[in-house]
């Protein structure tokens, strides 16, 4: 859940350059992923190249690296691409977030074959409205991914209520793992 404590951790990690938090945050996420046994390909939510350049790192990629290592799963850091520079989604409502992300996330053409038929753990730091996750899942499913599970450190509950089919099912799941309708 995205509360005061998790918010402080996420903001320190994401915007405060406290990348040393990645192992701890991912261990908390790994505890919720234990039920997903077998072979999963770990894929982080992508940042646009300009945002990556400005921030210096992709926080989802740091978490994904730790999760892949902790589970003994393969990692595909650049399986997804954010081809469109989107504004910061903080402060935007669910409709504005969805509009900002329209057509922004695609599968890297050189990795499309690696995704076909695979179970994917999609890793992000925070699940807010579901717009980013929905865009990623759609791209992964178009590439032929079999199952997609969203693994996030925190989930914003206020915006999540009734937001989208992704979020509606997510309400039934632990905050750190979300199953996506039609993805399994």
pLDDT for 159 equals 42
Provide the 8-state DSSP code for 19: G
pLDDT for 87 equals 58
Per-residue pLDDT of the chain (184 residues; tens, 9 = 90+): 666 777 777 677 777 778 888 899 999 899 888 888 889 999 999 988 887 788 888 999 999 999 999 999 999 999 999 887 765 666 666 777 767 777 778 999 999 999 999 999 999 988 877 778 888 999 999 999 999 999 988 787 654 444 443 433 333 333 344 444 444 4
Please state at what angle helix 94-101 crosses helix 131-142, rounded to 10 degrees: 40
Structural element, H or E, at residue 128: none
* DSSP β-ladder status, 119-127 and 147-155: parallel
Q: Which domains are delineated in the chain?
A: 4-179 (3.40.50.2020)
Distance CA 64, CA 152 (A): 10
Region of 177 (left: φ > 0; alpha: ψ -120 to 50; beta: rest) is beta
Rg (CA), the chain: 15
pLDDT for 164 equals 42
Distance CA 67, CA 60 (A): 10
């Amino acid at each position: 859940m995205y509360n005061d404590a998790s918010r402080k951790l996420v903001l320190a990690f994401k915007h405060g350059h406290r990348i040393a938090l990645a192992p701890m945050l991912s261990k908390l996420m790994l505890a919720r992923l234990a039920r997903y046994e077998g072979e999963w390909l770990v894929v982080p939510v992508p940042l646009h190249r300009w945002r990556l350049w400005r921030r210096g790192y992709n926080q989802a990629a740091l978490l994904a690296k730790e999760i892949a290592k902790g589970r003994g799963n393969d990692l595909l850091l650049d399986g997804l691409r954010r081809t469109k520079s989107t504004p910061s989604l903080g402060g935007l409502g669910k409709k504005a977030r969805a509009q900002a992300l329209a057509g922004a996330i695609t599968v890297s053409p050189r990795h499309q074959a690696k995704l076909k038929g695979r179970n994917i753990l999609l890793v992000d730091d925070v699940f807010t409205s579901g717009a980013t996750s929905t865009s990623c899942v759609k791209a992964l499913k178009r590439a032929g991914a079999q199952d997609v599970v969203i693994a996030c450190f925190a989930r914003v509950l206020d915006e999540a209520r009734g937001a989208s089919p992704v979020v509606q099912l997510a309400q039934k799941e632990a905050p750190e793992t979300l199953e996506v309708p039609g993805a399994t």
